[in-house]
Amino acid sequence: MLIFTLKRLLSLGLSLIAASVAIFFVVEIIPGDPARLMLGINATQDAVDALRTQMGLDQGLLARYWLWASGLLQGDFGISYTYRVPVSEMVQGRVWVSLPLALYALLLSTAIAFPIGIIAAAKRGSWADWLVMGGTQLGVAIPNFWFAMLMVSILAIKYGLFSAGGFPGWDDPLAALKALTLPAFVLALPQASILARVMRSSLLDTLSEDFMRTARAKGRTARGAMVHHALRNAMIPVLTIIGLQFSFLLAGAIIIEKIFFLPGLGSMIFTAITQRDLIVVESVVMLLVFAVILVTFLVDITYALVDPRLRRRA
Amino acid sequence: MSLLEINGLKLGIGAAKILHEVSLSVDAGQITAVIGESGSGKSMTAYCVNQLLPRGSRTKGDVQFNGHNMLVLDEPTLCQMRGRDIGMVFQEPMTALNPVQTIGAQVAETVLIHGAASKPEALKIARETLNRVGLPEAQFPLSRYPHELSGGQRQRVVIAMAIALRPKLLIADEPTTALDVTTQAQIMDLLKRLVQEDGMGLLLISHDLGVVADVADHIVIMRKGEVVEQGATAHIFKHMQHPYTKALFEASSHKPDREAQPLDTPILKVKKLIRDYTLPRKSLFGPVPKFRAVNGVSFTLNKGESLGLVGESGCGKSTLTRAILGLEGIQGGSISINGVEVKAGHTVPRTLRRNMQVVFQDPYGSFNPRHKVARLVSEPFHLLENPPKGTTRKTAISEALTAVGMHADDADKYIHEFSGGQRQRIAIARALIIKPELIILDEAVSALDVSIRAQILDLLAELSDKLGLSYLFISHDLSVVRAITDRVMVMKSGEIVEEGATEAIFQTPQHTYTRALLAAAPSLEDLMQ
């Protein structure tokens, strides 16, 4: 297991280097001089050159890559072309909205999906199964911006249970959590629907395995066999989906962030793209890539914890 | 009063009637074997005893076990009895164990479910039971996972789970069908020993008369949900009455008539063949480790000859087949087909492949279910430069189908419309269609019931007489190989250890491994005498 973890860590490191090279050079290929862009078309060539030197743009590609990458490692993401503030500062404020929102949504999604997926599989063909299958179909089909507006108009505007949007900051954790609840729920619903369906079909596959019959022959009740033998075996596809969903929730919540006026990473990257603030795009994309690779690493480790057969391969 | 007494048992699942008036009994310390072909209801009879029936099952009659009628007990009581009073061993040891739990945990589970001991004690019982079934602590600590064990070892774990609480009755559903002959003999010995030591009753379900005849005290023959004949083993062997029993015995040791004489011209010549598989690297820069699956194998197969290749799983016989068929390249030696030589580093080319066709074991898995029979049978045409079209193609398909005893109209049907035996006929038709000289039969009759197997063997004999075909007949089943081959090779760990005329090898085996194989293989002929 130790060797497996070390091998996975090595592959994590290599993926990060590969991703950083790819991102750096893609952004480099994009035409346009950032210094010229920052100073405007009326700036003198001297001023532009001075800025280029200051930003390190006059150095070679490799040197600039090294400067950027080593800066990332020290938490220095460079300075935003548009706002002239360190990107790390901009990101810091945003991450503490997006990350909790993603985790919160993921928590809700699994909390909804696990029980209903398990019930649907255990009572296959019953009314409960039909209800879950129908409900999740609806959950996948409903566009989340529409559902978000519906929630806002009912729960926030009509009954005043939640605020319609905005984020009060983490000084008051309870208020912050309350502000994130509605968007997290809206984000979680389609994810939960997908996850519940995956859970159901994975469990159904496992229930028809021979070792389930063995468990019954040993004297396990139907429920005991499900809890002690089926669940852990059914987890592999479920873990895969959870890993994918987290990555999506972290960066893909732009519309929900916009609807609820949340200052998250999604809306920041959107603004940065429209303003051609490439250093912000570059840094935030790198950050997201890092998050996704880290989640993949964690999912891999969990696979091996769940299934001993995977520990030998790496 | 017997330990288990089944009287007038009827079972229906949905609209289908599975069992009609089944009656049999098992005494403590005795082995009752239920023999039947697929669909005879033998396994369902067993599942009626511990009530692990599929959904929608309806039972009627009387299953008296230890003073209870199992058919009327409620589920909680049944859960208490399963594992404690009735143990069960299954056919597929590869899948019968939970892959994510250690063998120790799974054996101890039987004890823990029934609250028979605390956890440390349960683990101690698990250890003792594993020792009893021949898995000593030194090589098989409780912390082993199922994937680290071989098929026979896994079956021992399954048996340990079933007997951990010393049940009164053990049900074994085809416990050795998936295992090699030597392993099969060991598992049967183990079951017999446990029955004697614990005074258990054993209900042994099998399709193979030879396997159970040695050990069973009592034999029950079933067909289509009915018991056709039963009695003490020796009595059944001497005085069988029912025609089906007689047919079953005849089919089990069936020997087709073969007339064709092999010629002296070789069709296939294999010289010092080597097949290596690369294994995953152990370190980043070291040499890539290799596994030599076939090690310097040489043999010649003549025209019109039927050559057998026997060996246990993992001996390299399938790898050898794949190399000959040109599915994989070879690393050493050579393969000559009709005098054209393929050397190391190459794969047998397409032009040579059309002289050979193959029939695989699984008549269910080796066809694409979405294609019609016509398309399935005509698949080998892609090996020809100018495949026939239109009516010539149709005629070829009809001819191939009629040659194997099917109807030309069957070409428009789908494969699910046929039984296992019919599918294997279609597989042979597919092999015949481009008129090959050599057919490789890779466990081609192993999955079939004995009566169907006898028919297919007859068909193969007839085809070789008529078309002068050569066969390379690969099987783990020695009795089948003895029935259909002229010469036989015995393979072990990638090498041919013995080769010679079939009867000579079976009568006077020279190599110790061949002797061990023959000793382990159940032979009905010896028992009948």
Domain extents in chain A = 2-73, 89-310
How far A305 CA lies from chain B's nearest CA (Å)?
Answer: 9
CA distance A221 to A228: 10
Give percent above pLDDT 90 in chain A. Answer: 35
| Residue in B74, B78, B91, B98 to test binding to A, most A beta-carbons within 10 Å | B98
Residues A122-179 pLDDT 10s: 998 899 999 999 999 999 999 988 999 999 999 888 888 888 888 888 888 888 899 9
Using a CB-CB cut-off of 8 Å, the residues of chain B touching A214 are: 88, 90, 96-98, 158, 161
How far B173 CA lies from chain A's nearest CA (Å)?
Answer: 12
Residues A26-51 pLDDT 10s: 877 776 677 777 777 777 888 888 87
Residue A314 pLDDT exceeds 50:
no
Q: Which domains does chain B have, with CATH numbers?
A: 4-252 (3.40.50.300), 304-328+340-528 (3.40.50.300)
B76 touching chain A per CB within 8 A: yes
- Closest chain A residue to B47, measured at CA: A217
Residues A184-196 pLDDT 10s: 999 999 999 999 9
B492 touching chain A per CB within 8 A: no
The predicted complex's ipTM stands at 0.81
Residue B527 pLDDT exceeds 70:
no
Q: Which residues contact B362 (CB under 8 A, 6 or more apart)?
A: B447
B113 touching chain A per CB within 8 A: yes
Residue whose C-alpha is closest to residue B154's, from B138, B125, B133: B133
Q: What class is the A89-310 domain?
A: mainly alpha
The predicted model scores a pTM of 0.83
Q: Which residues contact B355 (CB under 8 A, 6 or more apart)?
A: B267, B337, B338, B436, B437, B438
What are the phi and psi torsion angles at B497 (to 5°)?
-95, -25
Report the side by side order of strands in the sheet with B438-442: B356-359, B438-442, B470-475, B306-310, B487-492, B495-501
**DSSP state at residue A158:** I
CB contact under 8 A, B99 and A307: yes
Using a CB-CB cut-off of 8 Å, the residues of chain A touching B97 are: 211, 214
Note the pLDDT of residue A159: 87
**DSSP state at residue B413:** S
Note the pLDDT of residue B156: 93
Using a CB-CB cut-off of 8 Å, the residues of chain A touching B116 are: none
| Residue in B109, B112, B282 to test binding to A, most A beta-carbons within 10 Å | B109
Note the pLDDT of residue A136: 94
Instruction: Take residue A103 and report the two structure tokens written for it.
Output: 């985790």
